[in-house]
């Protein structure tokens, strides 16, 4: 039996690329490098069932056994992203129908309709056969369902999906008149008389509520397809099952992972946007009550020429490999071990090139393998802890994808740049939360750009939490839509006016930075793009000082209210990162009785405090390739070097410190 402990260092491997003798050589090289886990089989359906109903698993058993001979465990992928040609030929209806009415063709991947009964039936059968074959193989330590599964573009618009969507609308709205009212279909004479008349949201200027409902329906169809596979696998296998997601297109990852055991995640971020993947890591560690697996990242580059890719600096691979581990994961796996010699994705970075020779980052990978194990005991017995959280619900993402508020607004970028980064830059760590997640343990909660607080009863849950002492930073673009994305007819907000005793005045866009705001002290309050303004308020923190229209001047733009035992900071505009970092965040932390962070330290560090089993400490990752300074809270042993450290220390570009206090 294989004896490996997290943090796992792994890689994707495609044995279908290579003759048997090369597989043995690769396994030996993996062992020499320090690789512990190989992810295999995710696209190999045609090698397992080349002819309908004829299953061939000997070759795959041989691969698992060969890897195990060198101490390497297997994560087994189900191959449903790439069905073989016989399925597409026998049942052409399995192929997705794209927005403009053409069927996808065989030859790529993820080209099938997740609602199609033939695709589901044959997917279920290959998954069950694999589960039966490998359930008792102790060298298989986990399963991955499909690959990077999400509703691509607008999803599938085939007749099966159309019928299922109308059925979904019938169940949700009961009567077509209720749907007409919810979506305000009197506009443009869109009223329907029968559910069967409702078109798919294609080739037209589509009603935004219709568009949003369709997106969510398509996403939930994907969840159903993954859940179907999970239920089959779990009849046979005892090891954790997951699906390797990519953070695209607004999927609800709580729904996706409900029947799964382990969150798996793929990313290809580069030196310019590692903060975006750390944002996702801060989300992932809270989805299930166990550490996530980073199932894919590149060692050196993602080979797509649609993405600007250039050589990454020395040390980037090392820091990038540490980030998921620092932020609550227990595995980091590369895509891929050995470059494909032909076919798709031939230009991707890897550990070895197609000839089996090491790439330039090879020594970094070897060092990572050693350093993970040096810090492993502490990492495996502690968890990331924080009193701060930010909401990032999939419902909001779907809303902004289907209903623009102001030109130049990007939901994810604005959450990261104006809320997440300022917290991280003070050496603090937020958890990132879906709407349904429990937030009762947090002291400070940020809820920016969440148009509907009806989502998962968020508004009422937050009301109670604030009354019991929570500090809530809310807005802008929050609480001004119902769950269908429509406005309230009798009030501007669902609850904020009544809850806070404030009075809404106007909301205006500002694409030219013509609106200027100031703090009560007179200092400038820098902000951008969107202004929800309030009537004069004794608790105003900031007001409009200049505007192209005099009616806006003097209106409140940030207000602090005491409510019950708690405090609410209401923001009517997108604060600059500096205003958030230097002003609003310290005010909120102070109101919650929390430390205001590592003010004198460098902002290019990811800092994660960890606790567990009587141990405390901090992992620090320099992630921008620049020198940094960090002041320890307490003397600590740095576990990678075994050095004792205290006070303020210098950190090298891409250096990682695992500090046990
Ligand atoms: Zn379909």
User: Quick one: average pLDDT of 279-308?
Assistant: 93
Residue 103 Cα to ligand 1 middle (Å): 10
What pLDDT, on a 0 to 100 scale, did the predictor assign at position 403?
95
* Percent of the chain's residues with pLDDT above 90: 96
Residue 1 pLDDT greater than 80, yes or no? no
Residue 154 Cα to ligand 1 middle (Å): 11
Residue 398 Cα to ligand 1 middle (Å): 20
pLDDT class of 500 with cuts at 50, 70, 90: very high
pLDDT class of 302 with cuts at 50, 70, 90: confident
The closest of 268, 253, 264 to 436, measured between CA atoms, is 253
Residue 612 Cα to ligand 1 middle (Å): 47
Residue 248 pLDDT greater than 90, yes or no? no
Residue 163 Cα to ligand 1 middle (Å): 9
As a whole number of angstroms, the distance between CA 460 and CA 373 comes to 45
Residue 166 Cα to ligand 1 middle (Å): 13
The closest of 501, 508, 543 to 522, measured between CA atoms, is 543
What pLDDT, on a 0 to 100 scale, did the predictor assign at position 307?
81
Residue 107 Cα to ligand 1 middle (Å): 18
Q: Concatenated DSSP letters for 281-341?
A: HHHHTTTSSS-EEEEEE-SS----TTS---PPPTTHHHHHHHHHHHTTEEEEEES-SB--S
Residue 307 Cα to ligand 1 middle (Å): 29
Q: CB–CB of 272/294 below 8 Å?
A: no
As a whole number of angstroms, the distance between CA 383 and CA 154 comes to 38
User: Quick one: average pLDDT of 366-389?
Assistant: 98
User: Over the stretch 586-639, which tens digit does the pLDDT of each residue have?
Assistant: 999 999 999 988 888 999 999 999 999 999 999 999 999 999 999 999 999 999
Residue 223 Cα to ligand 1 middle (Å): 14
The closest of 306, 310, 290, 287 to 298, measured between CA atoms, is 310
> Which numeric CATH code is attached to 605-660?
2.60.40.1180
User: Quick one: average pLDDT of 354-382?
Assistant: 98
The closest of 633, 237, 185, 597 to 430, measured between CA atoms, is 597
* Percent of the chain's residues with pLDDT above 70: 100
The closest of 407, 486, 640 to 178, measured between CA atoms, is 486
Q: For residue 112, give the 3-state DSSP assignment.
A: strand
Residue 159 Cα to ligand 1 middle (Å): 7
Residue 462 pLDDT greater than 80, yes or no? yes
Residue 72 Cα to ligand 1 middle (Å): 39
Residue 167 Cα to ligand 1 middle (Å): 14
The answer for 529, left when phi > 0, alpha when psi is -120 to 50, beta otherwise, is left
Residue 112 Cα to ligand 1 middle (Å): 8
What pLDDT, on a 0 to 100 scale, did the predictor assign at position 197?
97
Residue 237 Cα to ligand 1 middle (Å): 30
Residue 160 Cα to ligand 1 middle (Å): 5
Residue 96 Cα to ligand 1 middle (Å): 6
Residue 39 Cα to ligand 1 middle (Å): 29
**108 sits in which H/E element:** none
Residue 241 Cα to ligand 1 middle (Å): 26
Residue 155 Cα to ligand 1 middle (Å): 8
Q: Where are the domains of the chain?
A: 388-591, 605-660
As a whole number of angstroms, the distance between CA 379 and CA 5 comes to 11
Residue 381 pLDDT greater than 80, yes or no? yes
How many Å separate Cα 507 from the centre of its chain?
30
As a whole number of angstroms, the distance between CA 586 and CA 116 comes to 52
The answer for 618, left when phi > 0, alpha when psi is -120 to 50, beta otherwise, is beta
User: Quick one: average pLDDT of 207-221?
Assistant: 97
Residue 410 Cα to ligand 1 middle (Å): 29
The domain made up of 388-591 has a fold known as: Rossmann fold (3.40.50)
Residue 605 Cα to ligand 1 middle (Å): 45
* Ligand 1 is an ion; residues with CB less than 5 A from it: 113, 115, 156, 158, 160-161
Q: What is the mean pLDDT of the chain?
A: 97
pLDDT class of 151 with cuts at 50, 70, 90: confident
Residues forming beta bridges with residue 374, ordered by sequence position = none
For residue 546, how many other CB atoms are within 10 A of its CB? 11
Residue 294 Cα to ligand 1 middle (Å): 30
Say which residue the tokens 């490999």 belong to: 321
Residue 131 Cα to ligand 1 middle (Å): 26
Residue 529 Cα to ligand 1 middle (Å): 39
Residue 120 Cα to ligand 1 middle (Å): 11
User: Over the stretch 411-430, which tens digit does the pLDDT of each residue have?
Assistant: 999 999 999 999 999 999 99
User: Over the stretch 52-100, which tens digit does the pLDDT of each residue have?
Assistant: 999 999 999 999 999 999 999 999 999 999 999 999 999 999 999 999 9
Q: CB–CB of 377/237 below 8 Å?
A: no
Residue 117 Cα to ligand 1 middle (Å): 10
Beta-strand pair 605-612/615-622: antiparallel
What pLDDT, on a 0 to 100 scale, did the predictor assign at position 598?
87
Residue 88 Cα to ligand 1 middle (Å): 14
Residue 214 Cα to ligand 1 middle (Å): 12
What pLDDT, on a 0 to 100 scale, did the predictor assign at position 249?
80
Q: Is the whole model's pTM more than 0.85, yes or no?
A: yes
Residue 600 Cα to ligand 1 middle (Å): 55
């Amino acid at each position: 039996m294989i004896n490996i402990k997290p943090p796992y260092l792994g890689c994707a491997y495609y044995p279908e690329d290579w003759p048997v003798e090369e597989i043995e050589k690769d396994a030996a090289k993996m062992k020499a490098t320090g690789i512990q886990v190989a992810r295999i089989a995710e696209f190999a359906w045609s090698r397992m069932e080349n002819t309908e109903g004829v299953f061939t698993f000997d070759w795959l058993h041989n691969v698992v056994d060969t890897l195990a001979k060198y101490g390497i465990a297997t994560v087994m992928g189900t191959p449903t992203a790439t069905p073989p040609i016989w399925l597409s030929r026998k049942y052409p209806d399995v192929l997705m129908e794209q927005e403009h009415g053409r069927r996808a063709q065989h030859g790529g991947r993820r080209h099938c309709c997740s609602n199609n009964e033939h695709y589901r039936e044959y997917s279920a059968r290959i998954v069950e056969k694999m589960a039966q074959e490998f359930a008792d193989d102790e060298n298989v330590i986990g399963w991955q369902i499909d690959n990077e599964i999400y509703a691509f573009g607008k999803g599938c618009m085939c007749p099966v999906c159309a019928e299922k969507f109308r059925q979904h609308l019938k169940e949700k709205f009961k009567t077509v008149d209720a749907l007409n009212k919810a979506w305000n279909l009197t506009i443009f004479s869109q009223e329907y008389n029968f559910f069967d008349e409702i078109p798919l949201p294609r080739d037209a200027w589509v009603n935004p509520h219709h568009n949003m409902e369709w997106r969510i329906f398509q996403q939930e169809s994907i969840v159903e397809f993954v859940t179907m596979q999970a239920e089959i696998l779990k009849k046979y296998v005892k090891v954790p099952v997951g699906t390797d997601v990519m953070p695209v297109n607004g999927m609800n990852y709580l729904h996706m992972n409900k029947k799964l055991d382990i969150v798996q995640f793929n990313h290809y971020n580069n030196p310019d946007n590692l903060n975006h993947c750390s944002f996702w890591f801060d989300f992932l560690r809270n989805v299930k009550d166990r550490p996530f697996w980073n199932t894919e990242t590149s060692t050196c580059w993602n080979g797509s020429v649609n993405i600007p890719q250039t050589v990454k600096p020395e040390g980037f691979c090392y820091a990038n490999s540490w980030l998921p581990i620092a932020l609550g994961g227990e595995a980091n796996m590369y895509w891929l071990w050995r470059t494909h010699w032909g076919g798709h994705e031939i230009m991707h970075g890897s550990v070895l090139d197609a000839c089996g020779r090491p790439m330039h980052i090879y020594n970094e990978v070897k060092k990572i393998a050693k350093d993970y194990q040096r810090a492993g005991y502490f990492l495996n017995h502690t968890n990331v802890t924080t009193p701060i959280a930010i909401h990032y619900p999939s419902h909001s993402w779907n809303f902004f994808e289907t209903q623009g508020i102001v030109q130049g607004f990007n939901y994810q970028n604005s959450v990261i740049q104006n809320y997440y980064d300022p917290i991280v830059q003070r050496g603090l760590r937020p958890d990132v939360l879906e709407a349904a997640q429990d937030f009762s343990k947090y002291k400070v909660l940020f809820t920016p750009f969440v148009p509907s607080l009806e989502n998962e009863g968020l508004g009422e849950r937050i009301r109670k939490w604030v009354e019991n002492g929570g500090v809530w930073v809310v807005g802008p673009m929050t609480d001004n839509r119902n769950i269908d994305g429509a406005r309230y007819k009798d009030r501007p907000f669902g609850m904020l006016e009544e809850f806070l005793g404030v009075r809404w005045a106007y909301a205006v866009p500002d694409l030219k930075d013509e609106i200027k705001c100031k703090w009560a002290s007179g200092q400038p309050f820098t902000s951008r793009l969107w202004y929800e303004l309030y009537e004069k308020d004794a608790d105003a923190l900031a007001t409009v000082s200049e505007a192209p229209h005099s009616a806006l001047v003097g209106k409140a733009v940030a207000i602090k209210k005491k409510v019950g035992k708690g405090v609410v900071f209401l923001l009517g505009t997108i604060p600059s990162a500096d205003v958030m970092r230097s002003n609003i965040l310290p005010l909120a932390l102070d109101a919650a009785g929390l430390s205001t962070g590592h003010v004198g330290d460098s902002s290019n560090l990811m800092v994660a405090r960890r606790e567990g089993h009587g141990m405390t400490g901090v992992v620090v990752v320099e992630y921008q390739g620049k020198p940094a300074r960090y002041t320890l809270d307490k003397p600590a042993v740095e576990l990678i070097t075994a050095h004792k450290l205290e006070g303020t220390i210098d950190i090298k570009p891409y250096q990682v410190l695992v500090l046990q206090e």
